[in-house]
Amino acid sequence: MTAVEEAKQRVIQAGIKLLEYGLIARTWGNVSHRIGDGQFVITPSGRDYRSLAPEDIVTVQISDCSYTGSIKPSSEKGVHAEVYKRFPDVHFVIHTHQEYASVVSACNVDAIPIKDGLLAGKVLCGAYALPSTKKLQRNVAKALSHTSNQAIIMKNHGAVCYGADDTEAFAAALELDSACRQYIDNTYKSLSGELEADPDRLSCFALGLDHFASTNAVTEADHKLYHSRRLEDGFMLFDNSGGEIRVHYDELDADMPEEAWVYQQIYRSHKQINHIYWCGIPEIIAYSHTGQPLKPLLDDFAQLIGTSAKSVELSPAKVSAALHKSSAVMIRGNGALCCGSSYEDAIAVGMVLEKNGKAHIGAKLLGRVKPIHYLESLLMRLVYLKKYSKQAAVTS
């Protein structure tokens, strides 16, 4: 095996590892490996990491990001090139949308301090720009010029972590997420006087619902909703414990769970929806009690979900209408419903919505919630629907 072939194999293995570690959802994020002669190899654009073969990994020039062949490299290749230009000893770069680095990316901070470890010092936050743009590449380059650390946070987006090899780059990513979570937890403890950062109480405190926290009245759902999948003659309701209820269209009765009427309306009105995932983590339950729509604080929310997840009562007509231009909807007092054409799609929507909800709570805790501009969110959503969802369908 040549050095280039080995580099491509390492990139493929790292892409799968990103999924296993939960550092990305679907095809978000990207991985690259420096090879000789001013080049690096990188994952292709919009492809499932589990489907990749060595011939799918693209060779890119560091100097100008040019490449040959019909397979397009990741649209964030310019970000990787900037790291390689700045740090000659770096041979591996991973760009992630990992949870707590993304949360911090939406907060009103320019850097987070880290006491020890691989990232000891400060991890800087690069200024926001739309994904895959020259402006984003310039903003990353500017942040890199002011640090010698092995990671930077990309505002409203995610993180870039890098090292001498894949092991070091992954260590940086995991250390960064741990440090970002600790930063949020420590901020809460400092502001609240609490000794522990319980997710329920933290969410209530940040959202101004702390007077309910002692009884868990906010972070407990009014009742746990079923997940669902479409069938030929109806749909299935199922929960995390393995319980199932088969529902035939037009055969609902008073003994059926309340959401059964809602899901029937969704399936009848939205032919592209085949799976519904109920999100009931404490942060999303708490947010659902505010009665406010959840707006994009992160790029992947705008792309995968839309310009907002509206907040409505558990009503068939209202929920169905709220899903007209969005893949998720907040249910007041009951978390959120996340929808997709496949089970994997619905789960990915759920992952992104949960992360965006945590980002809102983190940003609120630190004093300022600033969603991505509506027009920028709309543009990202339209680009995703037109390009990346079609590409994923072709390559899946």
- 198 assigned to some structural domain: no
What are the pLDDT digits (tens) for 158-189?
999 999 999 999 999 999 999 999 999 999 99
User: Which one of 175, 190, 205 terminates a domain?
Assistant: 190
User: Which structure tokens are listed for 376?
Assistant: 């920028």
- 200 assigned to some structural domain: no
- 265 assigned to some structural domain: yes
Q: What is the pLDDT of residue 218?
A: 59
Domain of 64, in residue numbers: 3-190
User: Which one of 190, 208, 237 terminates a domain?
Assistant: 190
User: How many whole angstroms separate alpha carbon 215 and alpha carbon 237?
Assistant: 30
Q: How many other CB atoms sit within 10 Å of the CB of residue 74?
A: 23
- 222 assigned to some structural domain: no
Average pLDDT in the chain: 92
pLDDT > 70: what percent of the chain? 93
Res. 212: pLDDT tops 80: no
Whether residues 39 and 142 share a domain: the answer is yes
Mean pLDDT of 271-287: 97
User: How many whole angstroms separate alpha carbon 30 and alpha carbon 387?
Assistant: 18
Backbone angles phi, psi at 221, to 5 degrees: -65, 150
User: How many whole angstroms separate alpha carbon 207 and alpha carbon 283?
Assistant: 10
Name the least confident of 26-35, 185-194, 245-254, 338-347. Answer: 26-35
Structural element, H or E, at residue 275: strand 275-279
3-state secondary structure 95-154: EECCHHHHHHHCCCCCEEEECCCCCCEEEEEECCCCCCCHHHHHHHHHHHCCCCCCEEEE
Whether residues 277 and 386 share a domain: the answer is yes
- 179 assigned to some structural domain: yes
- 199 assigned to some structural domain: no
Q: What is the pLDDT of residue 222?
A: 62
Q: What is the pLDDT of residue 394?
A: 45
Closest CA to 95 of 135, 39, 145, 137: 137
Helix, strand, coil proportions of the chain in percent (round to 5)? 45, 20, 40
Res. 23: pLDDT tops 70: yes
Res. 213: pLDDT tops 70: no
Res. 221: pLDDT tops 70: no
Give the residue with greater pLDDT, 221 vs 374.
374
pLDDT interval class at 50 (50, 70, 90): confident
Q: What is the pLDDT of residue 216?
A: 52
Helical pair 343-365 and 166-192, crossing angle rounded to 10 deg: 50
pLDDT interval class at 25 (50, 70, 90): low
What are the pLDDT digits (tens) for 127-145?
999 999 999 999 999 999 9
Overall number of domains in the chain: 2
- pTM here is 0.93
Q: What is the pLDDT of residue 45?
A: 85
- 299 assigned to some structural domain: yes
User: Which one of 190, 218, 245 terminates a domain?
Assistant: 190
pLDDT > 90: what percent of the chain? 83
Mean pLDDT of 94-103: 94
Whether residues 95 and 161 share a domain: the answer is yes
Q: What is the pLDDT of residue 96?
A: 92
Whether residues 238 and 373 share a domain: the answer is yes
Whether residues 122 and 8 share a domain: the answer is yes
Whether residues 54 and 177 share a domain: the answer is yes
Whether residues 234 and 348 share a domain: the answer is yes
Mean pLDDT of 70-99: 95
Whether residues 183 and 237 share a domain: the answer is no
Q: Looking at residue 175, which CATH number applies to its domain? A: 3.40.225.10
pLDDT interval class at 390 (50, 70, 90): low
Q: What is the pLDDT of residue 26?
A: 59
What are the pLDDT digits (tens) for 111-128?
999 999 999 999 999 999
Whether residues 272 and 160 share a domain: the answer is no
Whether residues 10 and 116 share a domain: the answer is yes
Whether residues 127 and 232 share a domain: the answer is no
Whether residues 7 and 144 share a domain: the answer is yes
- 206 assigned to some structural domain: no
